[in-house]
Structure 1
Amino acid sequence: MVEHLHQVNELREQAEQSQLLNDVHALQAWQCQRLLATHADLASQKRYQLAMQFFVDELYGPKDFSQRDADLARVIPKLASVLPNKAMSALDDALALNALSFELDLAMADKLQGQNLDRDSYALAYRQVGRPDDRRHQIEIIAHLGQQLADVVHIRGIGMLIKLARRPAKMAGLLTLHEFLERGFDAFKGLGDVHSFIEPVIARERALMLQLFDENLDLKKDNPLPHV
């Protein structure tokens, strides 16, 4: 987990030094809108809305995670002694996803410099950046994270543990981290059958990735991305 945090900090510094941080944030915001468009049928269903928003806001979007990450770096050993292993595994997935996504986003932002960001420029930059193994791994992390969160919400007493931790977290200056954990728990506890949410998301994202990397597909004529 600490390695993931260090990686993001280094990438953020690299983006700032190359004056690409604003471009990365703009790209992340566009990608969130693309995700919501691709999975509009899920995002429109009340029982899926919190989970979809959690992915968009807390794991994949342009939100500033620096305070959360600083909190985590301070308390990872303490969290490991309090939270169940599955909860720690889910947290590790979230941080790994954040680090890999930022790395890919920075590469995309570098490729898109000076271009208007839309579905056409994005699709072309995606193919030019390449790194299909990393893209596949990114989707695999999302799938694993979804399963981990599904297991966590069924751990007996975990909801009460998170609720009781709010006051101590606030007093210790860890409210940002606590709110992240709380929103993740709330988003997934109301899903019921988590697979009915995760599996369509993973299937569509994999199909989209394969289309974007398919050299036989003319992206100018048959762009698989939705209009954003």
Structure 2
Amino acid sequence: MSKLAILDELLERYYQLHYHKQPDLLRRLQDVQAWQKARMQHTHAKQFAEKQNILMSEYFLNRLYGGPDFDALAEQIARLMKYAHKAEKLIPENAIKTGTLGVELAILAVQLDEEVAIQLLQDFHPYEALTDDMMRDTYLKLDQGQSRLNQLALLDQLGASLDKYMRSFVVYTAFKMCKGTANKYNFNTMYEFMQEGFLAMKPLKSAEKFVRDFTQTEREIIEKVHSGDPKPFQ
């Protein structure tokens, strides 16, 4: 079985999301994503502002939490599957596993936020500006606590994988050698998705620690939301 086969399953999940065919839902989803990013920037301001963390925080906000060009990335991944046999010879197995985990996290973030957007459309005017109270009430109504905790567990796995597999000089050298091929066959968006991960990790002593600090705070917020705290995001 191809090591890239799981990407087919992830893409199927992604293309089944409702917002692809519903402009109103897409607009509300974008509102949710913007709120999420602003909230995370505020919540993790101290961590994100540390010099060595800046690139990784940008990678989190722009890649793993609903990047604007994920449709282009998904299209390139779909095309890659036609060349899976060749790709597996070029890309180290551990890099494939880590990259796949990053894609899974990006899709899961969109999936969870789409659920929020759907609920918001049911409960509020579609153009009403989002507030913390609206988001807290919607999270509670959807009871997303466990799903969000599962998302954070996957994120912890990604942090560990980045430290374990992606700091290797051999892996990075092999990855850089693929750049010409990626550009030649128009896989540049996918290449950039992974390259930004490499560059973001470089200033860090430990990607795992960065992620663990982030997820610890996020878990505290989830606990506050579901324990009835009226101001869980502050």
TM-score of the pair, normalised by structure 2: 0.87
Q: Are 1:87 and 2:91 matched, yes or no?
A: no
Distance 1:196 1:62 in 2: 23
Match of 1:15 among 3, 9, 19: 19
Match of 1:100 among 100, 108, 130: 108
Q: Are 1:197 and 2:210 matched, yes or no?
A: yes
Distance 1:213 1:72 in 2: 37
Q: Are 1:147 and 2:155 matched, yes or no?
A: no
Matches within 5 A, 1:145-224: 145-214=158-227, 217-219=228-230, 223-224=231-232
Distance 2:229 2:57 in 1: 30
Q: Are 1:53 and 2:63 matched, yes or no?
A: no
| Structure 1 residue ranges without an equivalent (≥5) | none
Q: Are 1:35 and 2:43 matched, yes or no?
A: no
Q: Tell me if structure 1 keeps the 8 A contact 2:28–2:117.
A: yes
Alpha-carbon spacing, 1:62–1:153, altered in 2? closer, same or farther (3 Å): closer
**1:29-63 alpha-carbon deviations (Å, 9 max, x no partner):** 11011111111111111100101110110110351
Distance 1:23 1:180 in 2: 25
**Which residue identity is paired with 2:138?**
A
Distance 1:198 1:79 in 2: 29
Distance 1:161 1:189 in 2: 16
Q: Are 1:123 and 2:139 matched, yes or no?
A: no
| Structure 2 residue ranges without an equivalent (≥5) | 1-6
Q: Tell me if structure 1 keeps the 8 A contact 2:152–2:215.
A: yes
**Which residue identity is paired with 2:88?**
A
Alpha-carbon RMSD: 1.6
Partner of 1:3: 9
| SS of 2:34 mapped into structure 1 | helix
Q: Tell me if structure 2 keeps the 8 A contact 1:28–1:60.
A: yes
Distance 1:189 1:177 in 2: 19
Q: Tell me if structure 1 keeps the 8 A contact 2:156–2:208.
A: no
Partner of 1:75: 80
Distance 1:16 1:169 in 2: 27
**Which residue identity is paired with 1:37?**
H
Distance 1:62 1:125 in 2: 23
**1:62-117 alpha-carbon deviations (Å, 9 max, x no partner):** 51311111111222423333222221121221122122222211110112222430
Q: Offset at 1:143?
A: 0.8
Distance 1:97 1:153 in 2: 17
92-101 or 1-10, larger mean C-alpha shift: 92-101
| SS of 1:20 mapped into structure 2 | helix
Partner of 2:4: none
Distance 1:218 1:68 in 2: 38
Distance 2:53 2:165 in 1: 17
| SS of 2:169 mapped into structure 1 | coil
69-78 or 122-131, larger mean C-alpha shift: 69-78
